[in-house]
Amino acid sequence: MADGRSSNSRSKPRSSSSRSQSSRSKSKQPGCTSHIASNVYLAYLVLILLTVLFEVLPGVTGPGSKFYWVKVKYAEGVQGGGGTQWELGGLGVCEVGGKCYTSQGPPHWGAVQGGLIFHLAVTPIFFLLSLFHAFILWKPIFKPRLTYWLSILLPLTAFLFPMISLIIDFAVRSSISGSKDIEEFNTFPAFWLCIPSIIFSTSWTLIAIWLSYIAERKRRAERAERANRERSRRKKESTSWSLASLWPWARG
């Protein structure tokens, strides 16, 4: 009997310690969740800046920045550049070993300039759309249904602009490299900046849609909680009114 009592007394501290450990693990979960959420929001903002940066850099290629988009050698007999090598950028061109120009250039520079200026044109659009999405995540200013659809459509719309830039870049490259008046065609690293740009914008779009879904779930839970509190309040009021009506002096 003494052994049984001693074993029971020994088992109690173990159960209390297991309870304390479970309570500690539960208390750690909210902190861990908030830490993950803060990291996701940080990645959300960083990806916006990286997408903007890698969209702008190809557009500012030229004599001013000293780095270029493509290098071409024109075939003999081509008017305006036959037998010469040129480095083409969005803001100007330079003849290899010769002069640089910002307002005129050899054949095909117009296509390069148009495609790279498109980068500079769509970058502020992407930035404003992403900022507006971040704003409605932080502070919904529309009706719940409209807020939800905007939070989904804004990232998808913003993603279209880097995607269109990527398509235009490769279309211009294919058009110039396949031209008969081009003898040699080489791309600089600035051309391939469209690849990390589309990777960053795709990652941002997925995170933005996920955050929109989480925010919508949170708003629905808050609305349901408010509705439950309102129902319980009305129930208490009706119960208290019914009890008060039973009191004989309350009728007078």
At 73-90, the pLDDT tens digits run 988 876 666 678 999 999
What is the distance between the terminal CA atoms of the chain, rounded to a whole angstrom?
70
pLDDT at 25: 46
> Does 7 or 102 have the greater pLDDT score?
102
Q: Kindly state the average pLDDT of the residues 46-65.
A: 95
Mind listing the domains of the chain with CATH numbers? 48-216 (1.20.140)
Rounded Cα distance between 179 and 172, Å, is 11
The predicted structure's pLDDT at residue 241? 61
Q: Which residues contact 215 (CB under 8 A, 6 or more apart)?
A: 137, 140, 151
Which of 10-24, 126-140, 167-181 bottoms out in mean pLDDT, i.e. has the lowest? 10-24
What pLDDT is attached to residue 240?
Answer: 62
Q: Report in angstroms the alpha-carbon separations of 134 from 32, 38, 45, 168.
A: 23, 14, 9, 28
Q: Regarding beta strands 92-95 and 85-89, do their DSSP bridges make them parallel or antiparallel, or are they unpaired?
A: antiparallel
Instruction: Enter the DSSP assignment of 29.
Output: H
Which residue did the predictor score with more confidence, 44 or 145?
A: 44
106-115 confidence digits (pLDDT tens): 889 999 999 9
Mean pLDDT of 165-176: 95
pLDDT at 242: 60
Kindly report which listed range (25-34, 35-44, 106-115, 221-230) carries the lowest average pLDDT score: 25-34
In the predicted structure, residue 147 carries a pLDDT above the cut 90: no
**Digit-coded pLDDT (tens) for 200-225:** 999 999 999 999 888 888 777 777 77
What was the pLDDT predicted at 246?
58
- Enter the DSSP assignment of 75: P
Q: How far apart are CA 135 and CA 132, in angstroms?
A: 5
Whether the predicted pLDDT of 33 surpasses 70: no
Report phi then psi at 99, rounded to 5. -85, 165
Q: Single out the residue of 130, 127, 124 nearest to residue 207, CA to CA.
A: 130
How large is the average pLDDT for residues 138-158?
88
Give the Å distances, CA to CA, from 118 to 4, 80, 106, 159: 84, 25, 20, 15
For the whole model, what pTM was predicted?
0.74
